[in-house]
Chain A
């Protein structure tokens, strides 16, 4: 049988119908597909116009840009930007002495200088960078912001004998010989004691000596700069305020939360029942109560709990509360990372003969922590937003300073309030939005690299 006609080649595809292609097709599909869609589009567009147009009018077109007092803003319906300009230093530094403003500026700048390369994945020297940021930067920042020169009197030995009877009261640039003699003697005695006890249990002398010496050198390296007198004027924390306080609380909180969180997470996954229970109780306690009650606890109860607690500055007390609180949340983030490390990693480490701390420190934690960096960043965003609560215990952060400025009669105008909210909201939004985008970027990157590894293994 022969066919009368057989098509020899495929027909070329016909162009898609007009209603599906081009700009018109996009409109038809994405905005006007059904009558209900048309209604929603119109309502949505109206809502957008109703929000965006007045916002721009307020922020830009009707706004007052120049002026020196409230007189400039009395007759406007737009933002009163001179108010922000006049209060700018207060919003950023609080009541930090004007001549000393270079110090917070240096701290801001140094932080940025260390954070940016730490945040960009392709920049090398991550380990050095991390040590600089997490260990050295806090000490430098502390000295610069407070003025340092803490002048400690006693270490361990000094609590039992009067060291000053044996050492001359020499001071070298703020560092007392009495204290450092105390420190050296205490370190020697403790090192010897620990090494002997460890030897008794079978640890080699050299190992424990090395560990103890490293520990005390580290402690000395932290205490020395804080003790030394660099000739900086002392600035009490009650003079701090604004964005400075916001950043100090957030960064100090997260830096303190990391070690606390790692220890708690390890403890929560421990085989030792009591250790596990203690960690669970600690974590669930701090996660179960609101941050405000934690701040109240730090402000009203902590002074009763500690000897001379009433002398601890308000900001430091709040920082202790924030560190405990965010440490508990950090523990849960780290725990997620620990759970994500495959079991064969533990088994391989055990097969290599590594002990618990080496397994954790060299094999498990590096993997667990890199996998939860997005979680840590999200935690930081939460903490950054939560720092606003410190104003409830009378520490004026950025929002607190803005709120306090509302009551300044020199700047009372119909739009002062809204301008202040616009400014504070803008800053919070820019910080949080940038960080959340960054965390999203890291998540995507982690996702694609995991895929890549999977593909390579196939």
Chain B
């Protein structure tokens, strides 16, 4: 082939087209744009705050709140500060989310497995449940449970009573409250120690099984540590138990524990709604385990239970866990819908009542969003750790 002279000067492009320069310029421009926008927003906000004479700063947190909260896990009264109100709201959010996560998981697994049942009516019922729950807005379901079910119950005087000691009415559910006498702390401490001991024991058993292949029976020891020892301590020490019964006085109940309808409505709606999504995840996870795995496991002579426990479930979990955690996250974030029915969660107490009282939108919404952000980041960090642990170790 003849030599074709290459004209170097033609190939010389502007230095701006060098990838390094170009990306530096673009990144600098983006940075400048963001900085400019931030500065502009900051300036406008300062002007607006000055012209509307708004108060700024975090001093409001230490001011007496002057309102009361219908459900508190820690003592709270009008004399407490807004900071404590924030804490009460946060605890309520975590409380309803934690219980909701447990209920949603149980129900979701049941429905998801039920959808795969060979029993026609069960699989159809579970399928219908998933379709109905997933295709109605969560807020609709919360309002339905609150307005159409729980607050439509009879008034306290006509309460529905269960076992003569539990009363259901439009003010919620009244249940008896056990009041423990002295020495109960020792019993609790014993039980906690028992749980730790059993965990250690089962870890040891696991190691033993991996090394030798032989199983240790750990449940009798666990039973002894967690139940038998604390219970015998309970009776030996003669810890007194009194039961505080709910009693109708006039138009309302006194004594016992009152579970407020706002909490119940939110809990039922959140857990049934999330269960619909979890059911689909579980179903997909189980279907993702190839049939050959089950067949191979039974060919090895494993029992049906062992096949499930040792072969199917671990593989299904690998598919199930990542979307499951994101459902837990959704449930936690969705618990903020509490504000629509007045369950005193973080948004309702802090971004609702406190914001209305103080008017300090920027600080309050900033804190609220930050809290949810931290919860999200912590959960997704934990999920990444777990994912790394259960990830397929390929050879």
Contacts and interface: CB of A to CB of B under 8 A. Distances in A.
A399 B143 contact: yes
A113 B336 CA distance: 38
A399 B137 contact: yes
B357 interface: no
Contacts of A40: 117, 119, 121-122
Nearest to B376: A288
A68 to B, nearest CB: 25
A45 B16 CA distance: 73
A374 to B, nearest CB: 14
Interface stretch (B42-50, B169-177, B211-219, B288-296): B42-50
A273 B121 CA distance: 55
Interface string B327-340: 00000011011011
Contacts of A305: 41, 44-45
B77 to A, nearest CB: 26
B20 to A, nearest CB: 11
Given A31-B121, A271-B23, A300 B369 contact: no
A216 interface: no
A297 B13 CA distance: 48
A290 B44 CA distance: 26
B27 A296 contact: no
Contacts of B365: 293, 296-297, 300-301
Contacts of B125: 44, 47-48
A275 B121 contact: no
B361 interface: yes
Interface string A394-430: 0000010001001000000000011001001100110
B144 A421 contact: yes
Interface residues of A, number: 59
Interface string B352-395: 00010000011001001100110011000000000000000000
Interface string A277-290: 01000001101111
B222 to A, nearest CB: 29
B70 interface: no
A380 B377 CA distance: 25
A399 B134 contact: no
Contacts of A284: 376-377
B117 to A, nearest CB: 8
Contacts of B351: 292-293, 296
A417 B152 contact: yes
Interface stretch (A135-143, A345-353, A364-372, A384-392): A384-392
B78 interface: no
Contacts of A418: 148
Given A297-B365, A306-B44, A386-B137, A290 B347 contact: yes
Contact of A287 (B23, B122, B361, B376): B376
Nearest to A36: B119
B49 A304 contact: yes
Interface in A99-114: none
A291 B347 CA distance: 11
B340 A41 contact: no
A29 interface: yes
Contact of A403 (B135, B143, B373, B377): B143
A123 interface: no
A146 interface: no
Contact of B147 (A48, A293, A406): A406
A18 interface: no
A359 interface: no
Interface string B77-106: 000000000000000000000000000000
A52 B48 CA distance: 57
Contacts of A271: 23
Interface in B284-337: 333-334, 336-337
Contacts of B27: 272-275
Contact of A274 (B14, B16, B30, B372): B30
Interface in B93-146: 117-122, 125, 131-132, 134-140, 143-144
Nearest to A436: B135
Contacts of A45: 121
B26 A30 contact: no
Contacts of B373: 285, 288-289
B148 A30 contact: no
Contacts of B139: 388-389, 391, 399
B384 to A, nearest CB: 13
A33 interface: yes
Interface string A46-82: 0110000000000000000000000000000000000
A309 interface: yes
B34 interface: yes
Contact of A292 (B13, B45, B122, B337): B337
A445 B94 CA distance: 42
A389 to B, nearest CB: 6
A45 B125 CA distance: 9
Interface string B208-248: 00000000000000000000000000000000000000000
A433 interface: yes
B251 interface: no
Interface string A17-35: 0000000000001110100
Contact of B134 (A33, A291, A297, A436): A436
B259 interface: no
Given A300-B361, A421-B144, A288 B377 contact: yes
B138 A385 contact: yes
A287 B330 CA distance: 10
Contacts of B13: 202
A271 B49 CA distance: 40
A299 B348 CA distance: 16
B17 interface: yes
Chain A to chain B: the 5 pairs with minimum beta-carbon distance, closest first? A288-B376, A432-B135, A300-B361, A202-B14, A385-B137
Given A275-B30, A289-B376, A301-B361, 19 more contacts: A30-B119, A41-B122, A44-B119, A44-B122, A202-B14, A288-B377, A292-B337, A296-B365, A297-B369, A301-B365, A304-B45, A305-B45, A306-B44, A307-B48, A385-B137, A389-B337, A403-B143, A406-B147, A432-B136
18 contacts: A30-B118, A31-B121, A44-B125, A45-B121, A272-B26, A275-B30, A289-B333, A289-B372, A292-B337, A297-B365, A301-B361, A303-B48, A305-B44, A305-B45, A388-B140, A392-B340, A428-B137, A429-B136
